[in-house]
Amino acid sequence: MANAPSGFFLTIEGGEGAGKTTAVDFIKSWMTSHRLAFIETREPGGTQVAEHLRSLLLGHHGEPLSDMTELLMMFAARSQNIFHNVLPGLEAGKIVLCDRFTDATYAYQGGGRGLNTQPVEALENLVQGSLRPDMTVLLDVDPETGMARAKGRGGRLDRIEQEKMDFFIRVRNAYLERAKLFPEQFEVIDAGQPLENVQRQLLEVLSRRLGER
Ligand code: T5A
């Protein structure tokens, strides 16, 4: 399952309220203005069945999900997204823009839930083969700021957003650890800055990494 040579797999990561949705909109406008062919998807989700799994994962239930159930459901949703969106997009030579991917599992289930990397790595190999992002933009923000932004949107927090601050600190540390381990994959942007500064940095990264396409 190697990446198709002409496609480009771009993932966006970050903690709660880091500004991923805002960044995805910005990247889409940039790609459109540069006439780059792309498809957009998100995780968990991106297909009809994967969106059902997303509702189960983020909804509130009388019955708590075990950490292992959560991990397996993330990868079940991922498998659907890969099959229906990611691989066809890459095979068609497009940029596949994905709001969260497996680095989120390393951060949330591995770091946040404390499952560590081994089960995540095993499922990553099983479900993805050699498929990995070509580039990951990590929007790094301290969890207090991120949660304040997420709460500012109003509405009830989802099942994962209701975790304690310690959980989000572990998530952030696990993301930063991944970025340190894979410096060629990751572009880390300080997302605690005002939006215009974040977008200026995004522009620099996009021009450098995708400007030649
Ligand atoms: N998950 C996911 C796992 O546990 N394991 C996995 O493997 C995967 C794939 C998914 C949840 O699932 C978990 C992680 C998540 O808990 P999600 O919808 O992808 O949920 O993620 P959320 O973090 O919940 O997304 P949010 O919509 O809350 O945050 P965003 O998209 O990061 O932030 P955004 O762009 O909506 O911005 C939030 C607010 O901040 C403002 C925006 O205008 C908006 O109001 N904002 C800024 N304000 C000031 N300065 C800036 N620089 C700003 N940037 C944005």
Contacts within 8 Å (CB) and 24+ apart, 61-68: 61/159, 65/159, 67/109, 67/113, 67/114, 67/115, 68/115, 68/119
Beta-bridge partners for 96: 9, 39
Q: With cut-offs at 50, 70 and 90, classify the pLDDT of residue 1.
A: low
- For the stretch 10-64, pLDDT in tens is 999 999 999 999 999 999 999 999 999 999 999 999 999 999 999 999 999 889 9
Ligand 1 geometric centre to CA of 102 (Å): 16
Q: What distance in angstroms lies between residue 1's CA and the mean position of ligand 1's atoms?
A: 29
Cβ atoms within 10 Å, residue 99: 19
Q: Note the pLDDT of residue 213.
A: 78
Indicate which atom in ligand 1 lies nearest the CA of residue 14. Answer: 32
- Across the range 164-174, mean pLDDT stands at 97
Task: Give pLDDT tens digits for 71-117.
Answer: 999 999 999 999 999 999 999 999 999 999 999 999 999 999 999 99
pTM summary value: 0.96
Q: Are 139 and 189 in contact (CB under 8 A)?
A: yes
Give the pLDDT of residue 44.
98
Residue 212: the pLDDT is: 78
Give 3-state DSSP helix, strand, coil % of the chain, rounded to 5.
55, 15, 30
Q: Which atom belonging to ligand 1 lies closest to the Cα atom of 112?
A: 4
pLDDT value of position 124: 98
Paired with 95 in beta bridges are 8, 38
* pLDDT band at residue 155 under the 50/70/90 scheme: confident
Q: Would you say residue 3 has pLDDT above 80?
A: no
Q: Look up the CATH number of domain 8-210.
A: 3.40.50.300
Is residue 117 classed exposed, middle or buried when 0-12, 13-18 and 19+ CB atoms within 10 A define those classes? middle
Report the pocket of ligand 1 as residue ranges, CB < 6 Å.
14, 16-22, 43-44, 58, 74, 99-100, 104-105, 108-109, 149-150, 152-153, 160-161, 191, 194-195, 198
How many Å lie between the centroid of ligand 1 and the Cα of residue 5? Answer: 30
Instruction: Specify the residue for token string 């109003």.
Output: 154
- 191 in Cβ contact with 198 (< 8 Å): yes
Mean pLDDT for the chain overall:
95
